Amino acid sequence: MTERETITRVHVIAADIGALRGALADYPSTVAGGVRQGKDGRVGVDAYLRPDQLDELRGKSVEVQVVEDATAAGEERQAEVGEGNRYQDGALPKGLGELTGGEQ
């Protein structure tokens, strides 16, 4: 596997939406999901950042909570993916599938 740059998933919290937008203005494509307001009135959003971006963001007037090493989490998920082409013989799944677990 090739070496990858570490990406960290963080939750960024600010006093208000203006402060949050200002702090994240340099990283528009790294924000994930929607803005959520906490019980204390502050707002937060998840973001995916490189180490240099994370260091920069920590210098701004927001709280940064590290959620996970997104690179490692992605590599774990990739390890679950099978090898080869399961549709190589031309057979494709038919129908809507079958519920195999959970509530019905």
Question: What CATH code is carried by the domain that includes residue 36?
Answer: 3.30.70
Q: Residue 71 sits in which domain range?
A: 8-79
Asked whether residue 94 is domain-assigned, the answer is no
User: What are the beta bridge partners of residue 13?
Assistant: 44, 63
Domain count, the chain: 1
Rounded to two decimals, the pTM is: 0.70
Query: What would the pLDDT profile of 1-56 be if each residue is shown by its tens digit?
Result: 456 789 999 999 999 999 999 999 988 778 888 999 999 999 999 999 999 999 99
> In this structure, are residues 77 and 13 in contact, taking their beta carbons and an 8 Å threshold?
no
Query: What would the pLDDT profile of 44-70 be if each residue is shown by its tens digit?
Result: 999 999 999 999 999 899 999 999 998
Asked whether residue 97 is domain-assigned, the answer is no
Asked whether residue 96 is domain-assigned, the answer is no
Asked whether residue 87 is domain-assigned, the answer is no
Asked whether residue 26 is domain-assigned, the answer is yes
Asked whether residue 91 is domain-assigned, the answer is no
